[in-house]
């Protein structure tokens, strides 16, 4: 009994003190403390690669369940947790922050937040994570607010309204920390909104700058919208950004233009929808952009998390951005200038007929493969070759790992809603569902892509599609999951299946890893539960 009380007192002291506050330097230098997971993708480069190597291809089959935390919410569990010095922070959908003992799963505190009744994100009442700076946690809410919480107690410090929820705005992604700023973007592009990215002072919540993802009158790109369509043209932000301290740029993916599947009311390229925008972190000034799908009528959001890597490119070191886009094309982009270095489909596509390299690899549409009143088969599906789920890059293997959907198709029809969605992958849910698709109609996979050529090196095929992210580690392991409820480990060099376990619910988030008390843990959410695995003592 005395030992139990002592352990509890030590755990409570750990969450109460946070003496070693999470400075911005710690976020920039996350590799110095591989036992922690300090931001959404561990580092601000978003590589989702961990230096931990205690769990290896040789011993991964011995993984055992250490603890389970069961959320009260029955919504999808899309959050990637943070771990700071033995304390795990996660989100119970839609917006309850929970602090747990990373060693045992014991709950320290819960901050309950009730969003406005009219909060209605298009694709579930979900949250993908929190961020931390100092001893303060930050969370965006589905009613378009940004909250600051005391990481020691869960008490609210401040709250600001980023946008009006009555105008269909929401925030679903983990905020991005840059210096003394907390930066968030607004979701809601499947409704008539105008997307925005806004920076706030971490201490006070005071707004520092705002960038609209659709340019207004007099701004470059405004002429890519016909009439007043720019006012409600969408271009939402659904996922976290990357940050490069050498250029001081933040990189954000933007979503589809609105109306999603009918471009007759918004003629033109519709900048900066379906794009990556590089913004100066101090001012929000646009430095460069690249539009993956001009005048999108298939709903090819660029909602993917950008991955930054320094690679050898044609004989010299190059600072690049890796991006497997929803439109079915993988890209290598110079992240300093925005120059596209290479682009190539990584799944079957039929809308693309090459690139105009004289215009920085502008895509060329295949003639007659466009939405029509009669219906046209479009590949990839309207849900894409991948979606929001985060990918990974391993500097050890030099490979880029992506959860993909192959062989699916849809008939996109002009008008408010596409019809005849044969074979389309349904949105991820918490519960398991029967897979009714044949392999010809659609399947999911993890693919390893070589950034030098954008060729696929190996594929791990699943019978159903997947909404799970990817994690790699320094022992050349890869962790992911899928709609069938399996959590599995692969050899990151060959794709060989090394271990898997059925968790009883869909895996709709990105696995993460940390170490506590000298033992590496791997954590993943499935269904409405959070599962932690480690090797036997």
Distance (Å, whole) CA 272 – CA 229? 13
For 39-108, give the DSSP string.
STTSSTT---EE---SS-TTTGGG-EEEEEEE-S--S---PPPEEETTEEEEEETTTEEEEEETTT--EE
**Which residues does 162 contact at the CB level (< 8 Å), separation at least 6?**
140, 144, 145, 146, 169, 171, 184, 186, 196, 198
- Looking at 190, 299, 301, 491, which residue is catalytic? 299
Task: Please say whether the beta carbons of 125 and 142 come within 8 A.
Answer: yes
Task: Please say whether the beta carbons of 360 and 340 come within 8 A.
Answer: yes
The residue written with tokens 């890519």 in the block is 224
Q: Taking every pair of C-alpha atoms in the chain, what is the biggest distance, in angstroms?
A: 75
E strand or H helix that includes residue 11: helix 2-17
269 among known catalytic residues: no
Determine phi and psi for 32, rounding to 5 degrees.
Answer: -75, -20
Write out the two tokens for 321: 């951005």
Strand order in the sheet with 529-534: 64-70, 529-534, 519-526, 512-516
Strand partners, 205: none
**Which residues does 156 contact at the CB level (< 8 Å), separation at least 6?**
111, 147, 148, 149, 150
Write out the two tokens for 530: 């959070």
CB atoms within 10 A of CB 54: 16
Distance (Å, whole) CA 250 – CA 263? 29
CB atoms within 10 A of CB 395: 15
C-alpha 470: how far from chain center = 10
C-alpha 245: how far from chain center = 20
Mind telling me the catalytic residues?
Answer: 299
């Amino acid at each position: 009994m005395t030992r139990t009380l002592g352990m509890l007192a030590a755990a409570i002291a750990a969450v109460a003190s946070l003496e070693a506050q999470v400075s911005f330097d710690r976020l920039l230098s996350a590799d110095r403390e591989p036992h922690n997971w300090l931001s959404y993708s561990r580092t601000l480069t978003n590589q989702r690669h961990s230096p931990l190597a205690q769990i290896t291809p040789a011993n991964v089959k011995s993984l055992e369940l250490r603890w389970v935390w069961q959320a009260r919410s029955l919504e999808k569990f899309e959050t990637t947790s943070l771990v700071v010095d033995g304390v795990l922070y996660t989100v119970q959908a839609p917006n309850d922050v929970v602090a747990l003992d990373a060693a045992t799963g014991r709950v320290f505190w819960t901050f309950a937040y009730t969003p406005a009744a009219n909060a209605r994100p298009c694709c579930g009442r979900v949250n993908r994570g929190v961020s931390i700076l100092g001893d303060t946690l930050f969370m965006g809410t589905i009613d378009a607010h940004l909250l600051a919480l005391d990481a020691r107690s869960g008490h609210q410090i401040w709250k600001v309204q980023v946008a009006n929820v009555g105008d269909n705005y929401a925030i679903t992604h983990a905020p991005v920390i840059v210096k003394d700023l907390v930066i968030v973007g607004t979701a809601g592009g499947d409704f008539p909104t105008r997307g925005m990215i806004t920076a706030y002072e971490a201490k006070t919540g005071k707004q520092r700058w705002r960038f609209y993802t659709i340019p207004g009158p007099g701004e470059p790109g405004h002429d890519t919208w016909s009439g007043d369509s720019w006012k409600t043209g969408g271009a939402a932000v659904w996922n976290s950004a990357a940050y490069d301290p050498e250029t001081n740029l933040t990189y954000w993916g933007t979503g589809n233009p609105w109306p999603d599947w009918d471009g007759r009311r918004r003629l033109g390229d519709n900048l900066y929808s379906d794009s990556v925008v590089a913004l100066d972190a101090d001012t929000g000034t646009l430095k460069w952009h690249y539009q993956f799908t001009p005048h999108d009528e298939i709903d090819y959001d660029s909602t993917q998390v950008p991955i930054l890597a320094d690679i050898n490119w044609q004989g010299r070191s190059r600072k690049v951005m890796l991006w497997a886009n929803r439109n079915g094309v993988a890209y290598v982009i110079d992240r300093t200038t925005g120059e596209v270095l290479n682009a190539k489909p990584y799944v079957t596509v039929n809308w693309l007929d090459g690139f105009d390299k004289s215009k920085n690899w502008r895509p060329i549409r295949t003639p007659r493969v466009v939405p029509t009143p009669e219906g046209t088969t479009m590949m990839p599906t309207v849900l894409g070759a991948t979606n929001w789920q985060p990918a990974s890059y391993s500097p050890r293997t030099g490979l880029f790992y992506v959860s993909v959907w192959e062989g699916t198709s849809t008939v996109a029809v002009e008008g408010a809603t596409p019809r005849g969605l044969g074979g389309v992958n349904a949105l991820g849910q918490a519960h398991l569902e029967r897979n009714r698709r044949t392999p010809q109609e659609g399947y999911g996979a993890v693919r390893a892509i070589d950034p030098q050529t954008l060729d696929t090196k190996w594929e791990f095929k699943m019978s159903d599609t997947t909404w799970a992210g990817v994690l790699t580690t320094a022992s050349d392991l890869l962790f992911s999951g899928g709609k069938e409820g399996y959590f599995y480990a692969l050899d990151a060099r060959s794709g060989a299946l090394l271990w898997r376990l059925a968790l009883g619910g869909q895996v709709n988030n990105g696995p993460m890893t940390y170490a506590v008390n000298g033992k590496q843990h791997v954590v993943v959410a499935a269904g409405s539960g959070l599962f932690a695995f480690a090797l036997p003592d």
